[in-house]
Amino acid sequence: MVLSCWGPSRTLLHVGPTPTACPRDPWDQLQYHAGLASGLLNQQSLKRSANQMGVSAKRRPKAQPTTLVLPPQYVDDVISRIDRMFPEMSIHLSRPNGTSAMLLVTLGKVLKVIVVMRSLFIDRTIVKGYNESVYTEDGKLDIWSKSNYQVFQKVTDHATTALLHYQLPQMPDVVVRSFMTWLRSYIKLFQAPCQRCGKFLQDGLPPTWRDFRTLEAFHDTCRQ
């Protein structure tokens, strides 16, 4: 059975029961097709395992973990490409604890973001104001202290929610690029009005929420 979300010119072959209807949202479509591909690979793996049931236990290789570990050079190349995509954003990569990368993202003169990585997977983020210190007393990136300003505390919370939204374990580079594209939308944090109420301030705060699909600005209460 041949299924397609984009029409007859771009198809994905699916073997097995007919899946649920394909979503319309582009990010959901990407997750949908990645899931189908993962399911197909799992079916093929099960078939190979069934065919090898007769192999002697002494000859059967020991199962290997499936955790995706990418070479540091590959991670560096992905981050470098993303850095070149956005002139308003600069990304500095360091590895203070060995192989795990840490990013210091500076977005114009608006904010700075500390991004803690595990291979090419984003573990956590801390958003601070452009003029706030992002280092500890010994000169290391401070991955624990939150911003002194409520507006950047809000953006930190929204960034954590964004990490839950942009999940695609099979394509971590797409996840990082999507997250950085979303983060870049805060370049006008103090200039963009709310798309629902039209106001710049609500309870003394600018619109701190950015829609994951359209990147439009909303106040926290207006987005619901």
Task: Report pLDDT for 193.
Answer: 98
Per-residue pLDDT of the chain (224 residues; tens, 9 = 90+): 444 444 443 333 343 444 455 556 656 656 655 555 555 545 554 444 445 444 444 444 444 444 478 899 999 999 999 999 999 999 999 998 877 899 999 999 999 999 999 999 999 999 999 999 999 999 999 999 999 999 999 999 999 999 999 988 889 999 999 999 999 999 999 999 999 999 999 999 999 999 999 999 999 999 98
- Give me the torsion for CA of 158, 135, 148, 155, rounded to 10°: -10
- Grouping H, G, I as helix, E, B as strand and the rest as coil, residue 135 is strand
Strand order in the sheet with 89-94: 89-94, 102-107, 111-118, 121-129
**Phi/psi at 62 (nearest 5 deg)?**
-70, 135
Euclidean distance between CA atoms 124 and 102, whole angstroms: 10
If one counts every other C-beta atom within 10 angstroms of the C-beta of residue 10, the result is 9
Question: Distance from CA of residue 78 to its chain's centroid?
Answer: 13
Task: Report pLDDT for 3.
Answer: 42
Task: Report pLDDT for 99.
Answer: 76
Contacts of 66 (CB under 8 A, 6+ apart): none
- With the C-alpha atoms ordered 78, 83, 84, 85, is the resulting torsion angle positive or negative? positive
Task: Report pLDDT for 69.
Answer: 80
